[in-house]
């Protein structure tokens, strides 16, 4: 795969340019084929998205140019295809329609202005390092999201491959409408789409390195031209006006318009970034590389700013175009630069050839790309690994389908956070003891024949201590003491998994020590990290327990217990945190 992107968010850079400088000659064939095929696909698609956004079709072609050029230099994903896509196009139309009131020039100016504001908001998010929010998108979310997007992609093509202008939007609704209007299905269109899809699947199976989608485009155009199918009811792209965009600043908005556009732009930026980083991460997981979430925010800001200045409209990334590029072996953003050059050629010279491309074949290519995004083996692997992960993937998949992309992802992220919080609130714990013929100390619940040291409870709590689990810790620690058959003289907290503590948990430890002292039980701690020890000093826990009750290892704690309970005067165990003659408490 292409050069690995820096995933640590350490600083902004021209990440794409850095990857291109490390280019390998063996990637050239795949990148060129991917670029040409993606261009053949995106030209008619982006013209349709422009109409969806409410602007002239040629604006869809203009909106391709800045994103492809800028993302190739700034973006951190070597495979992501950035440009017009359906979600931001729909949101753009919904935001601008009330302001434009049918005025074409005003509509175009507002669309460009909206793109500028989206770009500035993304820049602000990148400067604020908000890319960390992408860390909430776990592997199950990525797998479920891509499967949901794939079904949405397929749903959007049912009308194209059947020749029926469907009104329903959901998959179930479209299938029902199609069945109800089955008499209207244009059989030649359906046969052409099925033939193209079968051709693509056959090429994928028998010749996996062949440029199937590109061959499908060329063959479809040849068949339409040879048999004049465009005159026999097969819908084609048709002719369109063209030209290159100019650098233009949108008309400044009024204060009321600006306030309204800011709220709309924030929603578009959130949806666009979610789509961008989800798609980029999903393909990164498939390709074995990483992306930089903050760099993606910066890149999304740059491409929208470029579109705002070049008479475009807000854009994000395209899962379908990225999938098509991947299917042809794209390894770097050179494929976007190749597609950029092809779009320029289309705008200037190749419009008549594109006009004969059948829409049914376009739909078949989209369905082919979508099928590659549904990772059934990964769903099965998660089900075998952990049911909660599998359920999260299914919930994301269902959420994307039944609500919309942003709500579905938000629901899955919320469930991920709840699951993470539940693990913090009720973490694993253990009472440690001896296991026959096994060195070391182990969880007595895990081993048959394990036993604790009489009079000593070695207790481990596998999470940081905070307000959320303080009472759970106290309850389970006391339960561990109560469960011992022999009277307990010492309670030693193994703090190896406790990296920090808050004031609520510190107060709980003070109360627990007081409660144990009332029962004649010594409270000690072992394996305390320096940072945690410093926090315990500030909270007064060290002063209450005494620095000599902090032990670097469990064996030293056991030795101290043995010496004190057996009153052995021949040996002394000194805690490394005990103050010396010339020192205060200090740090360990």
Q: Which two tokens stand for residue 583?
A: 């020192």
Nearest Cα neighbor of 139 from 410, 404, 393 is 393
**Token pair 């049911």: residue:** 387
The CA-atom distances, in angstroms, between 467 and each of 470, 473, 523 are 5, 10, 21
What is the 3-state composition of the chain as percent helix, strand, coil, each rounded to the nearest 5? 65, 5, 30
Q: Spell out the domain ranges in the chain.
A: 15-420, 426-566
Assigned superfamily of 426-566:
STAS domain (3.30.750.24)
pLDDT at site 241: 62
- Looking at residue 535, its pLDDT comes to 95
Q: What is the DSSP string of 401-451?
A: HHS-HHHHHHHHHHHHHHHHHHHHHS--EEEEEEETTEEEEEETTTSTT-B
In terms of Cα–Cα distance, which of 550, 556, 496 is closest to 523? 550
CA-nearest of 276, 288, 248, 28 to 116 is 248
pLDDT attached to residue 471: 95
10 Å Cβ neighbour count for 34? 32
Rg, Å, the chain Cα set: 31
**Terminal-to-terminal C-alpha distance of the chain:** 46
d(CA 296, CA 301) in angstroms, rounded, equals: 8
- Rounded CA separation 272/315 (Å): 7
pLDDT in tens, 525-569: 999 999 999 999 999 999 999 999 999 999 999 999 999 886 443
Q: Report pLDDT digits (tens) over 77-98.
A: 999 999 988 778 877 877 887 8
DSSP state, residue 79: S
State the burial class of residue 212 (Cβ atoms within 10 Å of its Cβ: 0-12, 13-18, 19+). Answer: buried
- Residues in the chain where the model's pLDDT stays below 50: 1-10, 567-588
pTM: 0.68
Instruction: Please state whether beta strands 429-435 and 316-317 pair in parallel, antiparallel, or not at all (unpaired).
Output: unpaired
Cβ count within 10 A of residue 555: 13
Task: Please give the DSSP secondary-structure letter assigned to residue 228.
Answer: T
554 alpha carbon, distance to own chain's centre: 41
């Amino acid at each position: 795969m292409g050069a690995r992107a820096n995933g640590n968010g350490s600083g902004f850079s021209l990440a794409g340019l850095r990857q291109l400088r490390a280019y390998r000659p063996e990637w050239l064939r795949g990148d060129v084929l991917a670029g040409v095929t993606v261009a053949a696909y995106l030209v008619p698609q982006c013209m349709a998205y422009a109409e969806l956004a409410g602007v002239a079709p040629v604006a869809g072609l203009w909106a391709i140019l800045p994103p492809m050029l800028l993302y190739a230099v700034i973006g951190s994903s070597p495979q992501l295809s950035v440009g017009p896509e359906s979600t931001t196009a729909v949101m753009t139309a919904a935001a601008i329609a009330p302001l434009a009131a049918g005025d074409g020039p005003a509509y175009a100016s507002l669309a460009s202005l909206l793109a500028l504001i989206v770009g500035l908001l993304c820049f602000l998010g990148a400067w604020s390092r908000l890319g960390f929010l992408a860390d909430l998108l776990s592997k199950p979310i990525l797998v479920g999201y891509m499967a949901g997007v794939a079904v949405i992609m397929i749903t959007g093509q049912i009308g194209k491959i059947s020749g029926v202008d469907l009104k329903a939007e959901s998959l179930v609704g479209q299938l029902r409408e199609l069945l109800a209007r089955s008499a209207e299905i244009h059989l030649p269109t359906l046969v052409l789409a099925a033939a193209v899809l079968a051709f693509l699947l056959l090429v994928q199976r028998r010749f996996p390195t062949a440029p199937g989608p590109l061959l499908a485009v060329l063959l479809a155009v040849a068949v339409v031209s040879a048999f004049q199918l465009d005159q026999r009811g097969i819908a084609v792209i048709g002719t369109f006006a063209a030209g290159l965009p100019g650098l233009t600043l949108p008309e400044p908005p009024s204060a009321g318009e600006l306030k309204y556009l800011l709220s709309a732009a924030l929603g578009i930026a959130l949806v666009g970034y979610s789509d961008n980083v989800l798609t980029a991460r999903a393909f990164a997981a498939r390709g074995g590389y990483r992306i930089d979430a903050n760099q993606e925010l910066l890149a999304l800001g740059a491409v929208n700013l470029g579109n705002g200045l070049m008479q475009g409209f807000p854009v994000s990334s395209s899962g379908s175009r990225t999938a098509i590029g991947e299917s042809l072996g794209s390894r770097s953003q050179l494929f976007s630069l190749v597609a950029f050059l092809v779009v320029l050629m289309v705008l200037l010279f190749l419009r008549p050839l594109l006009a004969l491309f059948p829409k049914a074949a376009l739909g078949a290519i989209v369905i082919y790309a979508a099928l590659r995004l549904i990772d059934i083996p990964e769903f099965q692997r998660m089900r075998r690994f952990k049911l909660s992960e599998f359920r999260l993937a299914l919930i994301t998949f269902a959420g994307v389908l039944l609500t919309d992309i942003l709500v579905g992802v938000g629901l899955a992220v919320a469930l991920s956070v709840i699951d993470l919080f539940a693990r913090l609130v009720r973490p694993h714990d253990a009472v440690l003891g001896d296991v026959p013929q096994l060195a070391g100390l182990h969880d007595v619940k895990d081993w048959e024949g394990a036993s604790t040291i009489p009079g000593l409870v070695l207790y481990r709590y596998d999470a940081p201590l905070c307000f959320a689990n303080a009472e759970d810790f106290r309850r389970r620690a006391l339960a561990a003491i109560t469960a011992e058959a022999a009277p307990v003289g010492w309670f030693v907290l193994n703090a190896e998994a406790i990296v920090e503590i808050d004031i609520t948990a510190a107060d709980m430890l003070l109360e627990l020590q007081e409660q144990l002292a009332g029962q004649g039980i010594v409270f000690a701690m072992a394996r305390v990290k320096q940072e945690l020890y410093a926090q315990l000093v500030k909270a007064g826990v060290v002063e209450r327990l005494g620095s000599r009750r902090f032990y670097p290892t469990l064996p030293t704690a056991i030795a101290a217990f043995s010496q004190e309970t057996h009153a052995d005067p021949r040996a002394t165990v000194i805690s490394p945190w005990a103050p010396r003659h010339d020192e205060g408490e200090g740090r360990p």
